[in-house]
Amino acid sequence: MSSSDIISVYSPATGEHVGDVPAHTADFTRKAFAAARDAQKQWVSTSLQHRKAVMLRLHDMVLERQSELMDVIQSETGKNRASAFDEVLDVAITARHYAYAAPRMLRTRRKKGALPVLTHTVEEHVPHGVVGIIAPWNYPLTLTASDAIPALLAGNGVVLKPDSLTPLTALKIAELLYESGIPRDLFHVVSGSGGVVGRAITEGCDYLMFTGSTMTGRRLGSIAGERLIGYSAELGGKNPMIVAHDADIERAVQGAISGCFSNSGQLCVSIERIYVHEAIAQEFLERFVAAIEAMRIGPGPEWDVDMGSLISAEHRARVEDMVNDAVTRGATVLAGGRALPDLGEAFYAPTVLTNVAKRSKLYREEVFGPVVYVETVDSISEAIQRANDSEYGLNASVFADPDTAWEIASQLEVGTVNINEGYAATWGSIDAPMGGWKASGVGRRHGDEGLLKYTTTRTVSSQRVMPVSGPGEVARETYTSALKTALKLGKRVLR
Ligand code: NAP
């Protein structure tokens, strides 16, 4: 293998070289599919109790080896320890939830037949075959393992491409999956570029799970459409927070800190716009800025660091350009608004802007960094209208008295609404679906759909005694008349 076939991984926080992985080819990816396809034929015949036991072992293993996992995650993302721990927690919760829920979701169900008693009908859930997963860099453990877990439990093989910036975490969780009992040929991590490996996955898989930008998501969606395979995509967001007149201000400030700056704002459900009622706007802003000034930012594994670096110096420059563009067009910087070169090339300060002009890039476009702008509103209806005025519809956060908050939530055009929380309440509710409206995605992860999407259905009906069209010896007219009477009776009896 020549040096051009290597992807070198560097820590964005320290610049240190942290590892090398192969940049695989399309042919290598196709071989991974062939192996996974063979292995899946065995795997699908294993019992759900066996698959459940494997995932419960994985649950224990990620918790036992959390430090090892967090070290790898931090080394290639630059995120702070707490954000790395969120990933470990997410994988453990997902493994536990689906391990216990899969037997219920996947069991063969009796359905009503064409003719009561005479038709015995069942619905079966059958795995697609080999699922392709293409993941981004921002949550390299969560967005690889937590999508693979339900796919494997449902009886599929998996070929997974991690982002080229963060392949080491995916390789680490692959080791843990194998140790937990997943056959090596069933689950493959194939490192390489989106244009080569990503494309081969899109062309070879039986179902595609993609997390990443809306632009790539649209492109992959059209290929999935051409191939007529199932497709689920978790894409970008420009997520709003509403702080109503009756909000608990301190709670809203803490919610904004975690909603805007967790994982340095590189979170699909991160808050990038805040609409605060004028009655409390000044106090909210003063406290918010004071809380930001108290944040600890830097590299390293210490638990008390509140925010780490961005994913790369290039991404930091992109964030910086967007903020500078807004400032040039008249925005006021209340906090941050600058890179932090003393900490490293990829660090950018948590930033709050006001007076952002509508023609600024970041007014509508996702920054995917620690940058939020605040607008003051004079009514809840105005806040709702502005929150919904976006091409995206992923997540929203509402800080208000509960009655006000539930009323606001019912009017928001998004896949998840967090009341008195930034994003973690819905994300952590693994039993409920999570995903975006509008340009934020198609399909859902989490909830029953997060596993059932990795299956297709087969309905099997067995006809007893006579065909649905009636016994041959009875005249058609007599039979249809009997059917009519049965239908009338059925309306009253079969509710
Ligand atoms: P991206 O550029 O779309 O890349 C995501 C993944 O797709 C990478 O593994 C990339 O590979 C691969 N890829 C790129 N082009 C491809 C192609 N033509 N065919 C197949 N694969 C291809 O997104 P990103 O910049 O890494 O991630 C940031 C975006 O993801 C943000 O917009 C964010 O909101 C979104 N996101 C959404 C969620 C969610 O759950 N809704 C979660 C996290 C992130 P390489 O880069 O290795 O070449």
Domains of the chain (ranges, CATH numbers)? 6-235+445-456 (3.40.605.10), 239-432 (3.40.309.10), 465-493 (no CATH)
**83 within 8 A of 262, measured Cβ to Cβ:** yes
- Give the distance (Å) from ligand 1 centre to CA of residue 17: 23
- Give the distance (Å) from ligand 1 centre to CA of residue 167: 13
Active site residue 413: no
What was the pLDDT predicted at 4? Answer: 53
- Residue 213 in contact with ligand 1 by CB distance below 6 A: yes
What was the pLDDT predicted at 171? Answer: 98
Sole residue written with tokens 């975690």 = 258
- Give the helix/strand (H/E) hosting 408: helix 402-409
Render each residue's pLDDT in the chain as its tens digit; 495 residues. 444 599 999 999 999 999 999 999 999 999 999 999 999 999 999 999 999 999 999 999 999 999 999 999 999 999 999 999 999 999 999 999 999 999 999 999 999 998 888 999 999 999 999 999 999 999 999 999 999 999 999 999 999 999 999 999 999 999 999 999 999 999 999 999 999 999 999 999 999 999 999 999 999 999 999 999 999 999 999 999 999 999 999 999 999 999 999 999 999 999 999 999 999 999 999 999 999 999 999 999 999 999 999 999 999 999 999 999 999 999 999 999 999 999 999 999 999 999 999 999 999 999 999 999 999 999 999 999 999 999 999 999 999 999 999 999 999 999 999 999 999 999 999 999 999 999 999 999 999 999 999 999 999 999 998 999 999 999 999 999 999 998 898 888 877
Q: Is 234 helix (H, G, I), strand (E, B) or coil?
A: strand
Count of CB atoms within 10 A of residue 85's CB? 18
**373 within 8 A of 392, measured Cβ to Cβ:** no
- What distance in Å separates the CA atoms of residue 75 and residue 282, rounded to the nearest whole number? 39
- Give the distance (Å) from ligand 1 centre to CA of residue 152: 22
| Catalytic hit among 76, 87, 234, 272 | 234
Nearest atom of ligand 1 to the alpha carbon of 237: 34
What was the pLDDT predicted at 1? Answer: 41
- Residue 135 in contact with ligand 1 by CB distance below 6 A: yes
- Residue 306 in contact with ligand 1 by CB distance below 6 A: no
- Residue 138 in contact with ligand 1 by CB distance below 6 A: yes
Ligand 1, atom 10, lies closest to the CA of 194
Q: Give me the residues paired with residue 20 across strands.
A: 8
- Give the distance (Å) from ligand 1 centre to CA of residue 447: 23
- Residue 449 in contact with ligand 1 by CB distance below 6 A: no
- What distance in Å separates the CA atoms of residue 158 and residue 54, rounded to the nearest whole number? 15
